Amino acid sequence: MQVSPSLLSANFANLEGDMEWLNRSECDYLHLDVMDGVFVPNISFGFPVLKHVARICHKPLDVHLMIVQPEKFINEVKALGAYYMNVHVEACPHLHRVVSQIREAGMHPAVTLNPSTPVCMLEDIIGDVDMVLLMSVNPGFGGQKFIEHTYDKIRQLRQLIDSKGSKAKIEIDGGVSLKNAKQLAEAGADVLVAGSAVFGADDPETVIREMKK
């Protein structure tokens, strides 16, 4: 299991302090939630902030864009040195073009589904992406309750990936903790995003290590 702690729950008054243990930890990525107040009802941080985070974080960056027209920011995400660029299916009427542009920019394209968007929406794109992010809460805020229907969606997505011979990983985001990590792994998840469960813990490094098991 891979783990991608979400910066949204970090201490924004001391990001260097958080990056110190995060760089030392066994986590696989740093998950960055960009929000625009339009696609989701909240605003988080933007590229001027992330530029500095990218400088002090030594983990590969997993950038989750909860914004309209994410294709406008491919160059900005690339400039961060991002590993994954995640765009929402609901935000991209020309998803194939956006995914191709992300790949051409040298990043790994990933697509995200809101809880109400069915897995079948991915049928014609699954062969072109390196990861699918299933939202297990409605995006916009950390610390929300995990939506149980996500387990069914993971199983459906695993079937779709296998039937199309895709290599896409399955990432889960929202309400993930040590309480449901094992069940998510059993359902077929490859990467767990965790905000409050990691940054809110007394010993985040141990939580990450346990989650990876």
Q: For residues 7-46, which are near ligand DX5 according to CB under 6 A?
A: 8-9, 31, 33
For position 188 contacting ligand DX5 by CB under 6 A, the verdict is: no
Binding mask 60-79 for Zn ion (x = CB under 5 A): ----x---------------
Identify what 175 binds: ligand DX5, Zn ion, none; CB under 5 to 8 Å per kind. ligand DX5
Tokens coding 7? 């910066």
Query: Please, which residues have CB within 8 angstroms of residue 191's CB and are 6 or more apart in sequence?
Result: 1, 2, 3, 4, 28, 29, 62, 131, 169, 170, 171, 172
Structure tokens at 128: 């072109």
Report in angstroms how near the CB of residue 164 gets to ligand DX5 at its nearest.
26
| DSSP H helical ranges for 83-203 | 95-104, 150-163, 181-187, 196-199
Answer yes or no whether residue 143 interacts with ligand DX5 by CB under 6 A. yes
Q: Which residue is nearest to ligand DX5 (CB)?
A: 195
Q: What three-state secondary structure class fits 66?
A: strand
Cα 44 vs. chain centroid, distance in angstroms? Answer: 15
Q: What are the catalytic residues?
A: 33, 173
Given 173, 189, 191, 199, the residue binding Zn ion (CB under 5 A): 173
Q: How far is CA 130 from CA 50, 111, 118, 137, in A?
A: 23, 9, 19, 22
Farthest CA pair distance, the chain: 46
Residue with tokens 């011979």: 165
Contact mark string toward ligand DX5, 101..140, x via CB under 6 A: ------------------------------------x-xx
176 binds, among Zn ion, ligand DX5, none (CB under 5 to 8 A by kind): ligand DX5
Give the binding site for ligand DX5 (CB under 6 A): 6, 8-9, 31, 33, 64, 137, 139-144, 173-176, 193-197
